[in-house]
Amino acid sequence: MSRQIVLDTETTGLSAEGGDRIIEIGCVELLNRKLTGNNLHFYLNPERDSHEDALKVHGISNEFLRDKPRFAEVAQEFLDYVQGAEIIIHNAAFDVGFLNKELELINSPPFATFVGVVTDTLVMAKEMFPGKRNSLNALCDRLGVDNSGRTLHGALLDAELLADVYINLTRGQDALLIDLGTVEGEGLGHASVDLSQFTLPVLHPNESELAAHGDVLAQIDKSSGGKTIWRQMLGGQTQTVA
């Protein structure tokens, strides 16, 4: 069973190394590319104020965060939740950099040691749409994902939007497959159909259809210089259709 976690964070600013901290983590779970509703969401006390520019982006006031838990208090629950999963992030270097810094502050190994792999949808989008804007809003517009409720950035809402964007970005192959169900432990299953259950009608051609078919065969035979397979099988005679 393929387990994926779509993750987003909001922060006090742009520099983890400069002392900025995570104030919100939003995670959305996908099992076999379907939303499960088993999401994880935290507001965090960053023990510092957000920069003014960051406040304009996320709108989460310093006062609102005063009584929220610190990262250290939720770290184990968070790590248990993401354990072993594929993590999907838009501009992964930013979020992973902040997560690594938070983990470093509690003497924990880096984020990558707890998860399976990190997939960056920004990298995917740049490969698919070179030279175009590939922000989350731009991708929502391009892929038909409704982001009308996104007036400010919010980690859980953005993770939910990104889950829809990711499914749309990667559905090309799925569109070629007929969903015949899945076999547990085997991914996409293949259903067998017993054709003996069906009575298939035989439709006989009428005279005009036979004549039209004969004309097409004659044209093909002429174009090939008499080298069609049916002429060879008939010993050089022209095939007639009765």
Asked if residue 41 lies in contact with residue 26, where contact means CB atoms within 8 angstroms, the answer is yes
pLDDT at 229: 74
* Spatial contact of 43 and 71, defined as CB atoms under 8 Å apart: no
pLDDT of 200 reads: 65
**pTM for the full model?**
0.70
Regions in the chain scoring below 50 on pLDDT: 173, 175-190, 241-242
For the chain, give every domain's residue range.
Answer: 3-174, 204-242
Residue 90 is a catalytic residue: no
**DSSP states of 143-181:** HT---TT-SS--HHHHHHHHHHHHHHHT-TTGGGS----
- In angstroms, rounded to a whole number, what is the distance separating the alpha carbons of residues 60 and 72? 20
Catalytic residue among 90, 153, 190, 213: 153
Nearest to 129 by CA among 143, 108, 117: 143
- Determine the pLDDT at residue 220: 81
The overall average pLDDT reported for the chain is 86
- In CATH, which superfamily holds the domain spanning 3-174? Ribonuclease H-like superfamily/Ribonuclease H (3.30.420.10)
For 48-91, the pLDDT digits (tens) are: 999 999 999 899 999 999 999 999 999 999 999 999 999 999 99
| Per-residue model confidence (pLDDT) at position 19 | 97
Q: Which residues is 117 bridged to in the sheet?
A: 86
pLDDT for 204 equals 85
